[in-house]
Structure 1
Amino acid sequence: MSLPPGFLDELRSRTSLTQVVGRKVIWDNRKSNQAKGDMWAPCPFHHEKTASFHVDDRKGFYYCFGCQAKGDAIGFVKETENVSFMEAVEILAREVGMEMPARDPRAQQKADRRGQLAEVMEQAAQFFRLQLNTGAGTEARDYLARRGLDAAALERWEIGFAPPGWQNLWDHLRGKGVEEELIIAAGLAKPSNKGGKPYDTFRHRIMFPIRDARGRVIAFGGRAMDPTDNAKYLNSPETELFDKGRSLFNHGPARAAAGKGQPLVVAEGYMDVIALVEAGFAAAVAPLGTAITETQLQLLWRISDEPIIALDGDKAGLGAAMRLIDLALPLLEAGKSLRFALMPEGKDPDDLLRAEGARAVQAVLDAAQPMVRLLWQRETEGRSFDSPERKAALDKALRERIKAIRDPSIRSHYGQEIKDLRWELFRPKKKPRARGQGAFVAGGWKGRGAVLEGPAASTKSSFLVAAGDAAETHMREAVILATAISAPELIVEFEHRIEAMGCADSDHALLRDLILRNAETDPGELKDRIAAAAGPETLENLYRLRHVAINPCMRKPGDIDLARKTLAQEFAKIEALRGGYAEVAEAEEELNGMADEAVTWRLGQAAEARSRSYRIELDGGGESVVAKNGLTLNKSDVEYRDKVFDNIDFTRGGRSRG
């Protein structure tokens, strides 16, 4: 079976030799440079311990310096799988999603025809170049000069001109003996609907030849000189040579430049590419009048692992970036991604180069954003997330986007990056204290003109009483943090309550942030990640606290029900404390004026709420009470004690009332 030459070219361009060879070898990571497609491994064709087998992924060839084996992806599959040439082609075609051409005994005739069409296109390119230097091309030359292109640049890019008139190119090619059918098949002319001669496709336009990776002219792009023309830019129609969704402007030269270390820059149009290359950005390409297709994206990744998409700084440019993200997400592989460089608003790369020079463009390229940042920007920019429902809608939208990523490792990393960005957006912010509200200090509550004193000197026997209620909050925060680290399965369940913790202590605030940012980490890795980020001494200080060490969760690791109960209780106590603080502060303000029964009632309600938070359901169905110093007491014992004290009349010298 004979295959058309174009089929093998496309197969090789779609196939990553590194991936094909990687199934049979173990890469030497010290010697290899994956970013440049320069890979080394022990040779699969002979036994050796050193890495003498070299793969150049950009050029698509391998070579062994030991046994001199060499070839391309087809040859590698043929040798390692012990199959014929056609079987190797079929294997690779299936992997990259290409359909094998039907068996055609006239395949050679088709190959010859493609060659004939390429020759016709080359003759057309020469005609257009000659026309640019005639009197008819004066206006076009002036325009190109204003765009900064001198004679040398025009020669390098083979820019030409299609003069006004209906049959200039047609008459020229027919005079050279080119068959009418070939001119039309090449897309250079169109049949007349009025029965006259076919007419030229391109008229009164600056002409840019479009070459394939092998350097053959396969199409043209024409820029209208008439400002009233409906189509400012016009590409050749699709032909046997040209498929615009599978082609790139400046493909061959850009591939060579990227192979020498130049970053691959993807612009929107011909003039952007030409301006970039002339300014020193040699590895620049452009799609051909359409949004980037899946095939073009694969071509880009064959040239560079991380192309930079340089888009115009307007709404249309940003929209194109977002469409490309949706296309790329399912296709992402380890080491294959995109970065996005958005030009200043209202400018394209050519505009920026002419206005500010190459350094300005380089600065924009250096600041290119990874895909995940642009994805986050799309879902959050210009939106308000001031309610739980809106936050939940954002989470759902981002989850749906990330689900499109097929590679589980990349999907996991995207999820972690999104979680970090989400945390930065929603992290608890310290709220300013309302005017006139009291402030809690170590010695008690300080309001406007009055201080409610803390414990007397004779009662400062415990840590909690000595430091005041702030120490109790600190203690309970420590228990919550230690419990969450020991039972990471519960972090998502208590996420909003953990977020709301004030954490005046800097170590506690750091641990809280790390717990939330790593909520979906594997439970076995959470503690190690936190220790690595916060430092092992931070965790050691947390676990060294006595009220943490004696917590039941520390003694029974893995008991999720106990951990859930502990978290619920500790949060209830902290929230009751905060509610009590607020009531006392407001009541204190009112006491500065006229006290009444309403103030007394509010203080009583605050005390009752705090009391309720200390009642814990025991496994046996009874109740216990947690004292202020952290001890758990039997409720019946406490009630008996209270009854005894109630029966003592201290005004009568401590004698019983009974």
Structure 2
Amino acid sequence: MSLPPGFLDELRTRLSLADVVARKVVWDTRKSNAGKGDMWAPCPFHQEKSASFHVVDREGYYYCFGCHAKGDAINFVQETENVSFIEAVEILAREAGMTMPARDPRAKEKADLSQQLVEINEAALRFFRLSLQQGIGADARAYLDKRGMKPETRDRFEIGFAPNGNALMQHLKAQGMDPVLMQRAGLLGKPDDGRDMYDFFRDRIMFPIRDARGRLISFGGRAMDPNARAKYLNGPATTLFDKSAALYNIGPARAAAGQGQTLIVAEGYMDVIALSEAGFEATVAPLGTAVTEGQLAMMWRLSPEPVIALDGDTAGLRAAYKVIDLSLPLLKSGHALRFALLPDKTDPDDLIKSKGREAMQGVLDGALPMVALLWRRETEGKTFDSPERRAALETALAKSTRLIEDQIIRRHYDDALKELRWNLFRPARAPRPTKGKWNPRAGAPVVPTAGTKASALAAGDDRTAQVMREAVVLATLLMNPSLIERFLDRLERLDMVSPDHARLLSVILRYEGAAVSQELRESVVAALGREILDLLMARPHVQIAPPVRRPDPVTAAACLDEELTKLRALYGAKTTLDEAIEDMLAAEDEAVTWRLGEVAASRNRAIKAETEETIETDIADNGLEINRSERDRWQKLLNEIHPDKRQ
């Protein structure tokens, strides 16, 4: 049976080789790097105990260093299931949700046609590149010079120019090429009224579009005339080209992503070129349309967590929100997105030229997880001062998370959004009453006594404080794995309030690798998924912690020691308070008051905060409130450790 051209390419694009192989092997978690798609296991084709079977998921191939077996997903199914090539394709097509094509006796003829169209496109590219160098391309060269595109960059990206008139058609006809084939390649247009064919691209700077295999499948053109109907124009749909299933620069980006670079999804050709020239070579762009499901699958094939880089204006946010709606039903463990929003009215090319590569790197480093942008969409510019408005927010968020089919990821999204709602809706602190005087806002006069002024019953929610300190402890360990062994005894005695924190701590305590932060984080991702790590590191009080902002062993050790001490004090206070409440009925009022006062005094000595002070807040980068006293406490501790690093 012959398969139509492109069927196997699409099948390999939709499938993850690691998922196919995982049915037959057990991965070596110490040797594998799930985040990079670099997986190792004992070989399923020969008996061994060591992990010599290597899967490179992004490239779609496997190789055994013991028995030298090698191949792709189709070969693997053939060998492990003992089936023919076509049977293996049928098995994988069912998994990928693809319908096997009917028998096509003309498959070879179609393959020959595709090759002819590629050759015509290559001939057209040679003409476009030559035209750019000639006098007819002077204005186009001047425009590229103004944009700062160097001649070597033009050569690297094969930039050309399509003159006005029917110059291309005449050139290719002179070489003996059939105009009908030129039209089928997308180079010529033909009016419906029967008039003669014409050059599809006229007076445009030309960008060749190649598929992952390097075949020239179409072109994109940027108009020189500012009044042109379309500023950017892609070739029409052809046997070779479907713009909803293609990405600009996918071949070079795949190679760079395979070497560990972050996959960046930019908006257009010029953004891709600017980013690539600045060293961000794993960059692709959709072709003039919103990201499609097929393009998203291709991105995840290259990288488990692409970064969508968009302008920070209204149009950029609108595009980001469309990607969110598309992505939510497709999320699964190991497949995520982050969003890097550039300053308003700035594209990557502008930012790199004005502020340098470091500024762009900073934008990428600050990329938001999708849950943060989902929250922003539903809350930005809105007021939630009534139960009805709060209910509407909860309904809108629930409607979005219901789109997530993966139950584990949906639960984590619901938990994250619940925490964000709690921070948004938590009651404001009552105004501090004037001592001994009636306060119309506070009701009856309040005269604190020495025993009750800072009692545990008036101290607020200690559980929240405990969760915050747990998060800082975990983030410090993730950034400084060398401290795990030093604080092992105290860490093992921790009783985490948050179930997620307990799971994270369990993975951290089992970590036996080198003291490298990246390796530890990858171990956490492999064991628990990336979302739990993202939510931890996105907490505002974690972001301001010195061992996270500026990790070094001295700062990290001092901060970790302080947080563990305060956690133990909170545990002790909670235990004493629980016992006091149990004894309340049996004890006299004075005894209960004294006991609670002692708990409060112990608690306050541990956290060094006066409960009646007015809490001021800052707004973190992600829009959440940060307790200013918490920020000042961190700064004071950092100044004590490093007097020379005062801000």
TM-score range, shorter chain: 0.7 to 0.9
Tell me which residue corresponds to 2:15: 15
Q: Secondary structure at the match of 2:29?
A: coil
- Are the equivalent residues in 2 in contact too, given 1:43–1:51 (CA < 8 A)? yes
- Partner of 2:331 in structure 1? 332
Matched residue, 2:417: 418
Whole-angstrom CA distance in 2 between matches of 1:296 and 1:252: 14
Summarize the Cα distance change of 1:132–1:509 in structure 2 as closer, same or farther, 3 Å threshold. closer
Question: Which one-letter code corresponds to 1:67 in the other structure?
Answer: C
Q: Does 1:409 align with 2:408?
A: yes
- How far apart are residue 180 of structure 1 and its match? 2.0
The CA deviation string for residues 74-116 of structure 1, in whole angstroms up to 9 with x for no partner, is 1111111222111111111121222222211111111111111
Distance change (3 Å), C-alpha of 1:270 and 1:46: same
Residue 580 of structure 2 corresponds to residue 547 of structure 1: yes
In 1, distance between residues paired with 2:358 and 2:111? 46
Pair 1:34-2:34 in alignment: yes
Instruction: Give 1:351 shift.
Output: 1.5
C-alpha distance 505-116 of structure 1, shift in aligned 2 (>3 A): closer
Aligned to 1:288: 287
Aligned ranges for residues 474-485 of structure 1 at < 5 Å? Answer: 477=457
Unaligned runs of 5+ in 2: 471-494, 506-563, 586-647
User: 1:10 is matched by which residue type in structure 2?
Assistant: E
On the 8 A contact 2:469/2:567 being kept in 1, the answer is: no
Distance 1:528 1:179 in 2: 68
**In the alignment, is residue 145 of structure 1 matched against residue 145 of structure 2?**
yes
Is 2:346 aligned against 1:378? no
Larger radius of gyration: 1
Other structure's SS at 2:168 match: helix
CA contact under 8 A between 1:352 and 1:360: conserved in structure 2?
yes
Residues 4 and 104 in structure 2, CA contact (< 8 A), matched pair in contact too: no
- What is the CA-CA distance between 1:172 and the residue it aligns to? 1.1
Match of 1:66 in 2: 66
Distance 2:102 2:277 in 1: 44
Q: Work out the CA distance in 2 between the residues paired with 1:509 and 1:358.
A: 40
Q: Indicate conservation of the 8 Å contact 2:312/2:343, yes or no.
A: yes
- Structure 2 counterpart of 1:103, one-letter code: R
Q: Deviations over 1:506-552 (max 9, x none)?
A: 7476369999xxxxxxxx99687799898455344333344333479
1:274-327 per-position Cα deviation (integer Å, ceiling 9, x unaligned): 111111111110000110101100100111111110012211111000010111
Structure 2 residue identity aligned to 1:538:
L
Q: CA deviation at 1:353?
A: 1.5
Identity among equivalent positions (%) equals 58
Change (3 A) 1:530 1:73: closer
Pair 1:200–1:509, CA change in 2 (3 A): closer
Between the aligned partners of 2:340 and 2:499, the Cα distance in structure 1 is: 36
1:240 aligned partner: 239
Instruction: Find the aligned partners of 1:112 and 1:212 in 2 and give their Cα distance.
Output: 18
- Paired letter, 2:205: I
Task: Find the counterpart in structure 1 of residue 550 from structure 2.
Answer: none
What is the aligned counterpart of 1:510 among 465, 473, 478? 465
The 8 Å contact of residues 5 and 107 in structure 2, kept in 1 or not, is answered as no
The residue number in structure 2 matching 1:491 is none
For 2:364, the equivalent position in structure 1 comes to 365
Q: CA RMSD in A?
A: 2.7
Tell me the secondary structure at the aligned position of residue 6 of structure 2.
helix
| Deviation of 1:164 (Å) | 1.1
Partner of 1:86: 86
TM-score by structure 1 length?
A: 0.71
Q: 1:177 to 1:509 in 2, by over 3 A?
A: closer
Query: What letter matches 1:328 in structure 2?
Result: S
The amino acid across from 2:573 in the alignment is: N
Q: Which stretch shows the higher mean deviation, 400-409 or 529-538?
A: 529-538
Q: Secondary structure, in 3 states, of the residue corresponding to 2:343?
A: strand
Distance 1:92 1:219 in 2: 29
Equivalent in the alignment of 2:259: 260
Q: Residue in 2 aligned with 1:344? A: 343
In the alignment, is the contact (CA less than 8 A) between 2:36 and 2:258 conserved in 1?
Answer: yes
* Partner amino acid, structure 2, of 1:131: S
Deviations 1:159-188 (A, max 9, x none): 1111111x2111111111111210111111
> Residues 213 and 541 from structure 1, CA distance in 2 versus in 1: closer, same or farther, beyond 3 angstroms?
same
Contact conserved, 1:511 with 1:530, CA < 8 A, in 2? no
Change (3 A) 1:435 1:334: same
Q: Distance in 2 between matches of 1:296 and 1:232?
A: 23
Q: Kindly tell me: are residues 32 and 509 of structure 1, through their superposed partners in 2, closer, same or farther at Cα, counting changes over 3 Å? A: closer
CA distance in 1, matches of 2:180, 2:195: 15
* 1:203-242, Cα deviation, whole Å (9 max, x unpaired): 0111100001111110100000011111101000000000
Secondary structure of 1:109's counterpart equals: helix
Q: Partners in 2 of 1:527 and 1:214 — Cα distance?
A: 48
Q: Is 1:109–2:141 an aligned residue pair?
A: no
- What does 1:599-618 correspond to in 2, within 5 Å? none
Shift in CA distance, 48/513, structure 1 to aligned 2, threshold 3 Å: closer
Q: Within 1, Cα distance between the matches of 2:499 and 2:303?
A: 35
How many Å separate the matches in 1 of 2:14 and 2:498?
43
Q: Aligned equivalents of 2:30 and 2:301: distance in 1?
A: 22
Distance 1:298 1:437 in 2: 67
CA contact (8 A) 2:467 2:498 kept: no
The Cα shift of 1:432 comes to 1.9
SS at 2:217's partner residue? strand
Counterpart for residue 312 of structure 2: 313
> Would the alpha carbon gap of residues 410 and 529 (structure 1) be closer, same or farther in structure 2, given more than 3 Å must change?
closer
1:362 deviation in Å? 0.9
Task: Kindly state the Cα deviation for residue 332 of structure 1 after the two structures are TM-superposed.
Answer: 0.9
Q: Could you tell me which amino acid in structure 1 is paired with residue 104 of structure 2?
A: D
- What is the aligned partner in structure 2 of residue 162 from structure 1? 162
Letter of the aligned partner of 1:226 in structure 2?
A: D
One-letter amino acid of the counterpart of residue 397, structure 2: L
CA deviation vs aligned residue, 1:543-598 (integer Å, no higher than 9, x gap): 3344333479xxxxxxxxxxxxxxxxxxxxxxxxxxxxxxxxxxxxxxxxxxxxxx
Counterpart-to-counterpart distance in 2, 1:118 and 1:373: 43
Deviation at 1:255, TM superposition (A): 0.2
Which whole-Å CA distance do the structure 1 matches of 2:228 and 2:382 have between them? 40
Task: Kindly indicate whether residue 172 of structure 2 is the aligned counterpart of residue 217 of structure 1.
Answer: no
- The structure showing larger relative contact order (alpha-carbon pairs under 8 Å, at least 6 residues apart) is 2
Which AA in structure 1 matches 2:369? P
Pairwise mapping of residues 367-516 of structure 1 onto structure 2 (< 5 A)?
367-433=366-432, 438=437, 467=451, 477=457, 503-504=458-459, 507=462, 510=465
CA contact (8 A) 1:514 1:530 kept: no
Cα 1:288/1:542, change in 2 over 3 Å: same
Distance in 2, Cα, partners of 1:45 & 1:393: 56
> How many Å separate the matches in 1 of 2:500 and 2:47?
41
Partner of 1:613: none
Q: 1:481: which partner in 2?
A: none
- Aligned 1:222-233 pairs, distance under 5 A: 222-233=221-232
Using a 3 Å threshold, how does the CA distance of structure 1 residues 185 and 340 change in structure 2: closer, same or farther? same
Alignment CA distance shift 1:529-1:76 (3 Å): closer
Mapped partners of 2:498, 2:164: distance in 1 = 74
The equivalences for 1:123-134 within 5 A come to 123-134=123-134
In structure 1, the residue matched to 2:75 is: 75
One-letter amino acid of the structure 2 residue matched with residue 137 of structure 1: G
Q: Measured at CA, do residues 84 and 437 of structure 1 come closer, stay the same or move farther in structure 2, by a change above 3 Å? A: farther
- 2:18–2:37 Cα contact (<8 Å) kept: yes
Q: Give 1:567's aligned residue.
A: none
Q: In structure 2, how many angstroms separate the alpha carbons of the residues matched to 1:39 and 1:399?
A: 36
1:431 CA drift (Å): 2.6
